[in-house]
Amino acid sequence: MWKKLFPKTIRGKIMILTAAITLLITVLTTTVCFSVFQSFLRKNQIQSVEFSLSVVSNNIGADMKDIIYFSKWCCSNSAILDYLEAFKDQPKLPTASKDFDNLRPMALSTHSRLKEEYYKYFNTRSNEYMSRVIVSSSNERNFLQMAAAANSTSSYAARLIRNKDFFEKLYNANDFLWIGLVKDPFSNIGREQFIPIVRPVSNEFNSEIIGWTYVEISSRLFTDYLASYPLPEDSMLFITIGDKNYGFDSKGLKETELPYSNPVKLTGKEFQSKETKVLSVSMNNGKKRILVERPIEGMDGWSLSQVLSEQQFGQQKNLYTLFIAGICLTIVSLGLLLAFLLNKIIMEPIRKLSGKIHNISAGDFSRDTAIEWNHELGQVGRGINDMSENIITLMEKRVADEKQKKDLEYQILQSQINPHFLYNTLNSIKWMATIQNADGIADMTTALARLLKNVSKGNASMIPLREELDLVKDYFLIQKYRYGGSVTIEYFIESQDLYDCGIHRFTLQPIIENALFHGIEPAKTAGRITVSARSENLGSKKALRIDITDNGIGMSQDTIDKVLLEETDSQNKTEFFRHVGISNVNRRIQYDFGQEYGITIASCPGKFTTMTILIPYVLYSENQVTER
């Protein structure tokens, strides 16, 4: 059974053995390496992003821990509580002359204490992000304020904060509540955003609320740490604060809707921390991506999340793919080496075949049976022998073909002698008629010469409409003299560009001839033919429409059908155009352009006949005709 399946040919044996061994090794190596490398790349990418998010998260968490501690201190410090208790019913800070209760020294002392605590954080980064601190009494008329150097203080600061939309929501919350970033409360044109903290301050001996504190945290708390964050082009970084989500880019933070859905949690050993979530998400464009989410330490509802870069993964994957390709190339090279060694067994037959080919090139066309082996190379040898025997036959045929070609050229030359002779004769007649003042004869002779020249010159099927009209004018001039000037023709061309449209040679002449012989002549009246051309839209395409109308006897529908299918009176055809008829023109147009184009006929018996030619609007070129 194996002998039947295993090929007998040398080429088959070499190819089967080499391909089988090479393919097996290549597939096994590629499969194992690709699986291991891809898993390693994804694990390495997740761990790298997790580490970066962890560093930023820990820094933000540490700063927020200090800021929250400071906010709590403002709500519990005894000096601040005494100040708020003393000023809760005061309409305003009394002047020095009316300060009987020493309230001004108390206010200065409390402000100094607040300032002292505020600057405890001077050597920490958290101090940079507390843009403003306000400690206010319940009536907002008396308050203490600390602001960063870049901000200005305001005598109405407490009242402004109290009137903001977020105040009541934060003020009435049981604990710290995060509503996300808000615009600068003290500037309508400022672009910086802040996180507000508002907490009520209660009397230390009862639950009476005697004031409130406000801490304003700059969004630079995030942007400073993320300024140097490694974020690839196709990766996305999001910050979640409460129920608000913000996207981060080079321009800063911007509130946004998360561009993904259907998160599915993944599990694996590649995660360094239990707090880290790795999710498979569906992006809005339908693509699957990996999302790494890391909560900000100590901040409930705060988190950082990043959509992993597929571009970066692809670049690393390409590097490993090149490495795998190198391994495969090595294996294939070994396979080629094996193939080379195996192919040495056919080198001797090849040398004999080369020797035979050399003999043929030297003129020895005899048959050599020594190169006709019983395998593929033997088939080649038989082919070479057959070829050598056929070369002489081919050479003899080539000589015969050359002789026949010369005979045809001579015949063509002979066929050209008569038209040239006729041109010269007509030209002589023209000049004789001119000398004798026979203008009609000169005009007819000139028109006939041009007409014969158009009939005999060239074999191009398409010509410009201008040349076709010239041929019609020459033809009509001859017929006009025949009818004694009782027929006229008029031309109405819509625009100059139509003269450059391509049209089949001898398209108009058969129609003009039909109008004269079958329309006007039987009517025995003065005849009038009108030729009009215009462009029109045929669906999405532009078409050229030519209407030829005569005032002859008209046609019945039966006659119209016969004209379009076959010639009605072949005996009346002129010598020049014996093989060119209306049905022929119609078929040529439809063969080249399709059934939607061609000739249509509208006629009223006894009154008129209009033949309409519809062809694509094309611009004529000497090399080709291109549709516009």
In tens, the pLDDT along 184-199 reads 887 766 678 899 999 9
| pLDDT category of residue 574 using cuts at 50, 70 and 90 | very low
**Residue at 39: amino acid letter:** S
* pLDDT tier for residue 571 given thresholds of 50, 70 and 90: very low
**Secondary structure letter of residue 102 according to DSSP:** -
CA separation for the pair 511, 532 (Å, rounded)? 13
- pLDDT (tens digit per residue) in 108-119: 888 888 888 877
527-538 vs 487-493, strand pairing mode: parallel
Residue 277 has pLDDT above 70, yes or no: yes
| pLDDT (0 to 100) of residue 402 | 73
Share of residues in the chain with pLDDT > 70 (%): 78
Within 10 angstroms of residue 587's Cβ, the number of other Cβ atoms is: 15
Q: Is the dihedral of CA 74, 110, 165, 218 positive or negative?
A: negative
Give the single-character DSSP code of 281.
E
Residue 621's SS3 state is: coil
Q: What is the pLDDT of residues 362-371, one digit of tens each?
A: 877 788 888 8
Give the count of beta carbons closer than 10 Å to the beta carbon of residue 301: 14
- What pLDDT does 356 receive? 79
What is the rounded CA–CA span in Å between residue 218 and residue 499?
Answer: 75
Q: Which residue in the block uniquely carries the two structure tokens 């201008």?
A: 466
Backbone angles phi, psi at 152, to 5 degrees: -105, 150
pLDDT in tens, 494-522: 999 999 999 988 889 889 988 988 888 88
Decide: helix, strand or coil at residue 134: strand
DSSP 448-515: HHHHHHHHHS---SEEEHHHHHHHHHHHHHHHHHHTTT-EEEEEEES-GGGGGBEEETTSHHHHHHHI
- For residue 169, what pLDDT is reported? 92
Q: How many residues does the chain have?
A: 628
Q: What is the DSSP letter of 437?
A: T
Tokens 């203490």 correspond to 144
In this predicted structure, what is the pLDDT of residue 627?
A: 47
Q: Please give the pLDDT value at position 122.
A: 54
pLDDT band (50, 70, 90) for residue 354: confident
pLDDT in tens, 61-72: 988 998 899 899
CA dihedral (62, 68, 70, 73) positive or negative: negative
Nearest by Cα to 514 from 575, 569, 590: 569
pLDDT over 90 (residue 549): yes
Q: What's the rounded Cα separation, in Å, for the pair 40 and 420?
A: 87
Contact in structure between 550 and 519 (CB atoms under 8 Å): yes
CA distances from 607 to 480, 520, 547, 552 (A): 21, 10, 16, 6
User: Span 3-9, mean pLDDT?
Assistant: 60
For residue 542, which phi and psi values (nearest 5 degrees)? Answer: -105, 135
Q: Which two tokens stand for residue 453?
A: 């020249």
pLDDT digits (tens, 9 = 90+) for 588-623: 888 888 889 999 999 999 889 999 999 999 888 765
Say which amino acid occupies 16. I
C-alpha–C-alpha distance, residues 316 and 254, integer Å? 31
Map tokens 């239990």 to a residue: 274
Q: What is the spatial distance between Cα 348 and Cα 341, in angstroms, rounded to a whole number?
A: 14
Question: How does residue 107 score in pLDDT terms, banded at 50, 70 and 90?
Answer: confident
Which pLDDT does position 569 carry in this prediction?
A: 45
| Contact present, 307 and 235 (Cβ < 8 Å) | yes
Alpha-helix runs per DSSP H in 308-375:
310-343, 347-361
8-state DSSP, 530 = E
Cα–Cα distances (Å) from 15 to 9, 253, 348, in that order, read 10, 63, 19
User: Can you read off the two tokens belonging to residue 218?
Assistant: 């700059």
Q: Which is higher by pLDDT, 487 or 44?
A: 487
Instruction: Please tell me the distance from the alpha carbon of residue 106 to that of residue 142, in angstroms, as a whole number.
Output: 12
pLDDT above 70 for 382: yes
Task: Give the residue-averaged pLDDT of 140-148.
Answer: 83
CA 625 from centroid of its chain's CA atoms: 30
Average pLDDT, rounded, for the chain: 80
What contacts 202, CB < 8 A, 6 or more positions away?
Answer: 75, 208, 209, 210
- Give the pLDDT band of residue 4 (cuts 50, 70, 90): low
Q: Give dist(CA 109, CA 79) in Å, integer.
A: 8
Torsion angles phi and psi, residue 590, rounded to 5: -70, -35
Other Cβ atoms closer than 10 A to 130: 23
* CB neighbour list of residue 130: distance below 8 Å, 6 or more residues apart: 67, 70, 118, 121, 146, 148, 215, 216, 217, 218
| Of the candidates 542, 549, 552, the residue with the CA atom closest to the CA atom of residue 618 | 542
Element (H, E) at 215: strand 209-218
Is residue 166 packed enough to be buried (19+ CB in 10 Å), middle (13-18) or exposed (0-12)? middle
Using CA atoms, how far apart are residues 168 and 162, in angstroms rounded to an integer? 8
DSSP 301: T
- Confidence band of 573 (pLDDT split at 50, 70, 90): very low
* Distance between CA atoms of residues 96 and 509, nearest Å: 118
Coil, strand or helix at 72 = helix
Identify which of 308, 288, 273, 234 has the alpha carbon closest to the alpha carbon of residue 41: 308
The DSSP 8-state label assigned to residue 369 in this structure reads G
Which residues share a beta bridge with 209?
202
Residues 346, 368: Cα–Cα separation, whole Å? 19
pLDDT higher at 412 or 176? 176
Query: Distance between CA atoms of 133 and 113, rounded to whole angstroms?
Result: 13
